[in-house]
Structure 1
Amino acid sequence: MPPTPAAPAVRAAPGAGAASGAVSEAASAPSGLLPPAARARRALGLVLGVLALVAVAAASLALGVRAVPPAVVWEALTAADPASEDQIVVRDLRVPRTLLGLAVGAALGVAGALLQALTRNPLGDPGLLGVNAGAAAAVVAGLALGVAGRGSTLLALGGAALAMLVVTALGAVGRSATAPVRLALAGVAVTAVLQSLVTAVTLADRATFDAWRLWAVGSLAARGWEPLADAAPFLLAGAVLAAVLARPLDALALGEDLGRALGARVATTRVLTVVAVTLLCGAGTAAVGPIAFVGLAAPHAARLLVGPAQRWLLPYAAVLGALLLVAADVLGRLLARPGELQVGVLTAAVGAPVLVALVRRGRVGGLR
């Protein structure tokens, strides 16, 4: 028999090459394959942000109810004099306060960026999945039972983690398991229940209410080294996990089917993102109390500067979150001398107009 002729090669449709190229370009763009000039601009912007953060941290060490000259601040950091009252103020009060503000602000910024990517909700806030409400409920329970004190940080973190587990379990029920909308709705429901429990307990016990309201307002004042030491391991673990999740979240932003085609594990990525948000926002909230708008405003400001790619968005959100929180803390000390305004009040006062301005410009409409 004569050999069977080879089948002619199937040619792609005229638009298939363009479509394939578009998908390839979309898949590679979030991975950081940018022109060298664009990468240089983003790197330069990040460096400038870090320099601004250093300047704000220096202001936090020098300014307050008692102004300390820059030379004395430098001596307090490099050549301590136990007899100098100014140096004692800097070393024992302002250094831990500033470091705590930097750590918590960065954590809230990254947590907000992760949560907005997870829920695909541009108005997503770390409190959306019940983290703040879980932490508050645990703190109130500890105060009512008399088991708070130094352990309140770990207690609040445990409450935040438990609330996130409940939200994740509720969001995983049904055919559309762990869908972003289901997670958000479950978070709203759990938050409402926990807030009602907090209100009931605090109204029934005046002593519990008096102790709880000092934590609930959100403040960096008189925290010392203990909250930072308790929260640091969890914040570090959450930051490492967030860095690992940058690529998978970029892939999922293109859609679940395309994300799977690019190798992303949808369910695993979502669960790990929930864990990262719990560690970052839970530990931060436990350390300083609920802080409004940092986790909402910082990711939006970062997205305006570098776009939606998580590889760049997460470090920018960390820098901007820390910058916003520490700057608000310094501003609160200067506006209400000889007292001070709590940082939770200032972040809401500063963050809300920023968010309104973004909305009016039409730049808060989506994540891509």
Structure 2
Amino acid sequence: MLDLSAAAQPATAAHLFQRRRRAQRRATGLTLVALVVLLGLVVASLAVGSRALSPVDVMSALFSDRRDAVGVIVFELRIPRTLTALLAGSCLGVAGVLMQAVARNPLADPGLLGVNAGAAVGVVVAIAFFGVGTAAGYVWFAFAGAAGAALLVNAAARPGRRGDTIGLVLAGVALSACLGAVVRIITLADDDTFESFRFWAVGSFERRDPDVAAQLLPFAIAGVVLAAAVARGLDQLQLGADLSRSLGVSPAAVVVVAGTAITLLCAVATSAAGPLAFIGLLVAHLVRRVVGRGVRTSLPLAALTGAALTLASDVIGRTIALPGEVEAGIVAAFVGAPLLLWLVVRKPS
């Protein structure tokens, strides 16, 4: 008698393999498309501003030793802010995918572990007590505040249950509320601190020092390396804690490594540009919609998509209010919120 169950198993395995191959090919194609779009946005970022430059002027400045007004605008003003936007956006994109995979919650945001609130406290302390008044000066205070907040969240979670993401998220929400109160107390008590802090809090890439991106790049690389290393474990963790253990994966170790990567990536982005709303959350939903839930296949596309959305927000902000500009954080929130709502209410195809 023919054993139908035995014949069905290879067919099922082959079907799953084919689905995985199709998802990988689709992710590769979309990654190439995102890269082309991102290159176009880079050229637009170098050309758009209070003084518009043609693509010919931009290329001439990039590939020559021009020291005229065009060269100064490109190299001293627009390249630093473009690099900072690329760095912050790619970090938020990767952190968004990791955060939703760790929390197993589509509403999880990269700032959920208290990173944004910790960075805000660091900036407020720098302004109010150390007299720091430049974006380059804020960076290390913001990074220290973000890292400190993440460490407190991990310490608040029970040491014996690091695989329990619910406790980790609850600790992050509670700490964010407390740190937000600290920020409000300090800014309300000092008008000068409030005036300086509010420009950082809206999320802007204006007047970024050329060294900001270079200073934060090693931490971003470390975060991306950790994300790549833990991606396979996160994919297996989505099968359930018991099944992942049977596959040789330690849920606690995966959560700790992923949390460290999220901390580094969010700290870099928030330190460089302030809190950018919806970028990480929106990227995670976009990527999951087009390539599925696999973390390993999502990370490259998430990095490019996050960078493109952030840079597009900055370019739009410089375009709609000439000769002034609207901060990228405001544009990201204004455009990202309706787009995220559309993605949520729209039925999957």
Q: TM-score range by the shorter chain?
A: over 0.9
Alignment of 1:122-271 (within 5 A): 122-146=106-130, 148=132, 149=134, 150-172=136-158, 176-271=161-256
| CA distance in 1 between partners of 2:41 and 2:322 (Å) | 19
Residue 215 of structure 1: how far off its partner (Å) = 1.0
Q: Say whether the 8 Å CA contact 1:154–1:230 is kept in structure 2.
A: no
Indicate the SS of the match to 2:20: coil
TM-score, reference length from structure 1: 0.88
| CA distance in 2 between partners of 1:168 and 1:137 (Å) | 18
| CA distance in 1 between partners of 2:348 and 2:261 (Å) | 27
| CA distance in 1 between partners of 2:322 and 2:344 (Å) | 34
Indicate the SS of the match to 1:254: coil
| CA distance in 2 between partners of 1:247 and 1:57 (Å) | 32
User: Which residue pairs with 1:330 in the alignment?
Assistant: 315
Q: Taking structure 1 as reference, are residues 17 and 136 closer, same or farther at Cα in structure 2, changes over 3 Å only?
A: farther
Q: Taking structure 1 as reference, are residues 206 and 18 closer, same or farther at Cα in structure 2, changes over 3 Å only?
A: farther
Residue 97 of structure 1: how far off its partner (Å) = 1.0
Residue 20 of structure 1: how far off its partner (Å) = 11
Q: Say whether the 8 Å CA contact 2:234–2:254 is kept in structure 1.
A: yes
Q: Taking structure 1 as reference, are residues 101 and 34 closer, same or farther at Cα in structure 2, changes over 3 Å only?
A: same
| CA distance in 1 between partners of 2:183 and 2:321 (Å) | 30
User: Which residue pairs with 2:41 in the alignment?
Assistant: 56
| CA distance in 2 between partners of 1:312 and 1:109 (Å) | 13
Identity value in percent: 43
Over residues 70-117 of structure 1, what are the superposed CA-to-partner deviations in whole Å (9 max), with x where a residue is unaligned? Answer: 1110111110211x2122101111111111111110000101111111
- Count of aligned pairs: 345
Over residues 234-284 of structure 1, what are the superposed CA-to-partner deviations in whole Å (9 max), with x where a residue is unaligned? Answer: 111111111111101001011111111112121111111111011101111
Q: Which has the higher helix share?
A: 2
Residue 345 of structure 1: how far off its partner (Å) = 0.1
User: Which residue pairs with 1:349 in the alignment?
Assistant: 334
| CA distance in 1 between partners of 2:303 and 2:344 (Å) | 22
User: Which residue pairs with 1:308 in the alignment?
Assistant: 293
Unaligned residue ranges in structure 2 (runs of 5+): none
Q: Taking structure 1 as reference, are residues 255 and 232 closer, same or farther at Cα in structure 2, changes over 3 Å only?
A: same
| CA distance in 2 between partners of 1:178 and 1:264 (Å) | 11
Q: Say whether the 8 Å CA contact 1:126–1:277 is kept in structure 2.
A: yes
User: Which residue pairs with 1:5 in the alignment?
Assistant: none
1:85 correspondence with 2:42: no
| CA distance in 1 between partners of 2:210 and 2:24 (Å) | 38
User: Which residue pairs with 1:72 in the alignment?
Assistant: 57
Comparing 39-48 and 128-137, the one that deviates more = 39-48
Q: 1:34 aligns with which of 20, 23, 46?
A: 20
| CA distance in 2 between partners of 1:300 and 1:172 (Å) | 30
Residue 33 of structure 1: how far off its partner (Å) = 8.1
| CA distance in 1 between partners of 2:139 and 2:7 (Å) | 56
Residue 41 of structure 1: how far off its partner (Å) = 2.9
1:299 correspondence with 2:278: no
Letter in 2 for 1:116: Q
Indicate the SS of the match to 1:65: coil
Comparing 222-231 and 331-340, the one that deviates more = 222-231
Q: Taking structure 1 as reference, are residues 16 and 198 closer, same or farther at Cα in structure 2, changes over 3 Å only?
A: farther
Letter in 2 for 1:156: A
Letter in 2 for 1:141: V
Comparing 39-48 and 279-288, the one that deviates more = 39-48
Q: Say whether the 8 Å CA contact 1:238–1:277 is kept in structure 2.
A: yes
Letter in 1 for 2:35: V
| CA distance in 2 between partners of 1:299 and 1:318 (Å) | 10
Q: Say whether the 8 Å CA contact 2:161–2:252 is kept in structure 1.
A: no
Comparing 354-363 and 212-221, the one that deviates more = 354-363
| CA distance in 2 between partners of 1:65 and 1:328 (Å) | 16
Q: Taking structure 1 as reference, are residues 260 and 17 closer, same or farther at Cα in structure 2, changes over 3 Å only?
A: farther
| CA distance in 2 between partners of 1:140 and 1:108 (Å) | 22
User: Which residue pairs with 1:3 in the alignment?
Assistant: none
Q: Say whether the 8 Å CA contact 2:163–2:251 is kept in structure 1.
A: no
Indicate the SS of the match to 1:245: helix
Q: Say whether the 8 Å CA contact 2:124–2:193 is kept in structure 1.
A: yes
Letter in 2 for 1:101: A
Q: Say whether the 8 Å CA contact 2:163–2:255 is kept in structure 1.
A: yes
User: Which residue pairs with 1:318 in the alignment?
Assistant: 303
Q: Say whether the 8 Å CA contact 1:131–1:282 is kept in structure 2.
A: yes
- Give the number of the structure whose alpha-carbon radius of gyration is greater: 1
Q: Say whether the 8 Å CA contact 2:89–2:309 is kept in structure 1.
A: yes
Indicate the SS of the match to 1:34: helix
| CA distance in 1 between partners of 2:9 and 2:194 (Å) | 60
Over residues 190-220 of structure 1, what are the superposed CA-to-partner deviations in whole Å (9 max), with x where a residue is unaligned? Answer: 0000000000011111121111111111101
